[in-house]
A and B are shown apart, each in its own frame.
Chain A
Amino acid sequence: MKRLTSVKELQSLREQAQARLAELEKKIQVKVHLGTCGIASGANKVSEAFVREVEPRKLSDVVILEAACIGLCGREPVATVIDPKNGKTIYCDLDENRVPRIVEEHLVGGKPVKEWTLALDAPLLKLQEIRVMHNQDLDPMDIEQYIARDGYQALAKVLTKMKPDEVVDEVGKSGLRGRGGAGFPTARKWKFVCSAPSGEKYVVCNGDEGDPGAYMNRAVLEGNPHSVIEGMAIGAYAIGNVRQGYSYIRAEYPLAIETLSHAIAQAREYGLLGKNTLGTGFEFHIDIFPGAGAFVCGEETGLLHSIEGERGNPRQRPPFPANVGGGLFGKPTTINNVESWSNIPQIIFRGADWFASVGNEKNKGTKTLCLVGNVNNTGLVEVPLGMTLSKVIFDIGGGIPDGKKFKAVQLGGPSGGVIPIKHVNTPIDYEAIPSLGAIMGSGGVVVMDEDSCMVDIAKFFLQFTRDESCGKCTTCRAGIPKMLEILNKISQGEGTIEGLDVLAELAEMIAATSLCGLGQTSPNPVLTTLRYFRDEYEAHIKDKRCPARVCSALVTYHVLPDKCQGCGICLRECPVGAISGGKRLVHVIDQDKCIKCGTCLDVCPPRFSAVTKVSGKE
């Protein structure tokens, strides 16, 4: 490929690429979605099976393609078939054994195998507003497909038709707020950097995504890498004096790093990055920096230290990264989240008004969410900001599995909080969620059913922040373990009511005196569970009972004599030999030996259901 040296050349390449896509659309396209979790579920085998089945049949009008993930994690492996007759068909829960029938009946016979498809009008799909994820059906390794979908048009537009401050104004008008957690207006942040005294400046993409249980940034990087590259280039132009950008991506995301590296190399080859972009004289380079897995490196000053080659310890702000002396290598720097960057090209290309056409008053555009935990449709979804939690959980998510009751939803990961059922009609936005004590965070939505213990969840997050604290501030380093100690006691039935007051005091102190967001927000999981589920804490303390039957010190397993059929399965499976019994005899659990692993409960055949778990006086 020859470098593009003018916008005109980009336009003619777009036409060629569109013609090629149109040519494809006349054929029968099979797209196997090969994101990280698809591959984990065996999507590669499905892809191979399609090739194996199609080749000997010499089906000249069938093409087998690769595409990124479309977010249906719980239904992986997923493949989309697009043919002129039936349009789009989405197949879920595939394995290689299902492929021959799809090839025979659909690709050859022209009739989709209905029972394996996901209806396109299912609420799961219909209620979503796909914008950031709009290229997930393309091959992310092929820059020309991105170009066919109007990719790099926004960059061409700003370089030839807009002044830098017009770009910043357009982003400002769109109302875009940072998607990295706090929702800070992106244009305002850029203005700080613009107005810092001139000299070299940097743009940085925050792809650390450290919230354990969220992966929307990864999906964007794997599925729409050029949108991030284009967004950063536009930002570099708007801010001025920026020649170098960095993408900080956690090393746990090898596929994202590989995809983005490939995309950067392609963009450079096509003259869309590097010197003299599109013949306009604009120069911008992007390097990838793989982060070696520390949560606090997602904090902006920690991240900058990490790129500078030091330990990723946060530091006092101001100076902010936007200020002289506060950014990367001391230069003014803007740090934005992956999703923030990837929104930029569409804001410029389609206009601020288009972007602001969804959302609510102060929250415009869409947000990608990772819907996980005890919910039927787990996966990645994108919805207009301001949609209620209940719509996301019950309509898009399809509610709670196994007939269980919804208990709470956790937002914002270790810095966030739980929201109970009485607030489930709260809109998902940057004001309403914090008003309940949680935070938006990067978009992790963890649904919990009645079997989740709130003390245990608080403990879980606190363990996380304890392990991830960089240790610089005394309150964070020493205070979090203190809180954890109290929680541990409570979960062992040794807590006191006074302990709850101490917890609240510690929380206040840590929040007030810690240097960075990690420490400041670390008490949130405890504070919100205490606020909404105090009775559950009290049950642990006063009744020595874990109502959700999770805290192992407070639960015991028993065999119900009237139900046990003596099949012996539990005896065989118990890892510590705590169960005794004989053929057709009622089995008995030796409480002194039992390690409360729950295996017996899992393996006792449902038709007997002879094992129970109890806590307290039930």
Chain B
Amino acid sequence: MPVLKIISRDLKVPISEVYGIVSFYHFFAMVPKGKHVIQVCMGTSCYVKGGQRLLDALKKELNLEPEEITPDGRFSLETVRCLGCCGLSPVMAIGDDVHRKVKPSKLKDILSSYE
């Protein structure tokens, strides 16, 4: 919230309006991001191919809900709508790496390669 206040003050627009814009557009985030940002695709194709199960497993593995960050700051978790690799569903991005056709059972291995 403090950041929103600064934006509101500097741009001279009411804070409610800043909040409106920030919450409306997905590209603005209101929580700090982890060292590695995990984006799980929840687009249609990934969903049909098991994206929800992937997300559930990830939540359990990291003990994290979407939009949260691990206490050590190593990972933060987000869901996104289509990473544009639907042909490779289910897809998950960690930082700039896109992991395709991810199975929940492969998560441990994948995560352990990120310090």
Name A residues whose Cβ lies closer than 8 Å to a Cβ of B: 36-37, 40-41, 72-74, 76, 210-215, 218, 251-253, 292-295, 311-312, 370, 372-374, 378-380, 410, 413, 444, 446, 448, 452, 457, 460-461, 464, 470, 573, 575-576, 595, 597-599, 602-603
Contacts and interface: CB of A to CB of B under 8 A. Distances in A.
Contacts of A378: 45, 86-89
A7 to B, nearest CB: 38
Given A213-B82, A598-B53, A372 B87 contact: yes
A311 B18 CA distance: 10
Given A413-B44, A602-B103, 13 more contacts: A37-B84, A37-B88, A41-B100, A212-B43, A212-B44, A212-B81, A253-B84, A293-B26, A370-B86, A373-B48, A373-B89, A602-B104, A603-B105
Interface of B: 20-21, 24-28, 42-49, 53, 56-57, 60-61, 80-89, 91, 98, 100, 103-105
| 9 nearest CB pairs, A to B | A73-B87, A213-B44, A40-B98, A292-B27, A378-B87, A372-B45, A212-B43, A292-B25, A293-B26
B44 A444 contact: yes
A410 B57 CA distance: 26
Contacts of B26: 292-294
A23 B46 CA distance: 43
B4 to A, nearest CB: 15
B59 to A, nearest CB: 10
B86 A372 contact: yes
Contacts of A37: 84-88
A214 B60 CA distance: 29
Contacts of A41: 85, 88, 98, 100
Contacts of A380: 87
A542 B91 CA distance: 35
Contacts of B21: 311
B42 A212 contact: yes
Contacts of B43: 212-213
A312 B88 contact: no
Contacts of B20: 311
Residue of B27, B61, B85, B86 contacting most chain A CB atoms (<10 Å): B86
Contact of A446 (B45, B53, B83): B45
Nearest to A40: B98
A444 B44 CA distance: 9
Nearest to A71: B87
B45 A373 contact: yes
15 contacts: A36-B85, A40-B83, A40-B91, A41-B88, A74-B87, A74-B88, A211-B82, A213-B45, A294-B25, A295-B81, A311-B20, A373-B48, A374-B48, A378-B45, A597-B57
Nearest to B108: A573
Given A212-B44, A464-B81, A599 B104 contact: yes
A524 to B, nearest CB: 14
Contact of B25 (A293, A444, A460, A575): A293
B57 A575 contact: yes
Contacts of A293: 25-27, 81
B97 to A, nearest CB: 9
Contacts of B42: 212
A215 to B, nearest CB: 5
Nearest to A222: B84
A597 B60 contact: yes
Contacts of B82: 211-215, 252
A460 B79 CA distance: 14
A36 B84 contact: yes
A337 to B, nearest CB: 17
A457 B26 CA distance: 23
Contacts of A576: 60
A251 B85 contact: no
Contacts of A410: 44
A597 B104 contact: yes
A121 to B, nearest CB: 22
A378 B42 CA distance: 17
B24 A311 contact: yes
A40, A444, A573, A595 — most chain B CB neighbours (10 Å): A40
Contacts of B100: 40-41
Nearest to B89: A372
Given A212-B42, A293-B27, A378-B86, A599 B48 contact: no
Nearest to A74: B87
A40 B85 contact: yes
A41 B47 CA distance: 20
B24 A446 contact: no
B112 to A, nearest CB: 14
Contacts of B81: 210, 212, 293, 295, 464
Contacts of A252: 80, 82-84
Contacts of A251: 27
B56 A73 contact: no
Contacts of B85: 36-37, 40-41, 73
Contacts of A374: 48-49
B76 to A, nearest CB: 17
Contact of B86 (A213, A597, A598): A213
A23 B11 CA distance: 56
Contact of B24 (A76, A294, A413, A573): A294
B84 to A, nearest CB: 5
Contacts of B60: 575-576, 595, 597
A76 B88 contact: yes
Given A36-B85, A40-B100, A378-B87, A372 B44 contact: yes
Contacts of A36: 84-85
A382 B81 CA distance: 23
Most B CB within 10 A of own CB, among A292, A372, A598: A372
Interface-centre pick from B60, B83, B105 (highest chain A CB count, 10 A): B105
Contacts of A312: 24-25
A199 to B, nearest CB: 30
Contact of B87 (A76, A210, A218, A295): A76
A215 B61 contact: no
A372 B46 CA distance: 9
B65 to A, nearest CB: 14
B56 A460 contact: no
Contacts of B98: 40-41
Contact of A598 (B45, B46, B104): B104
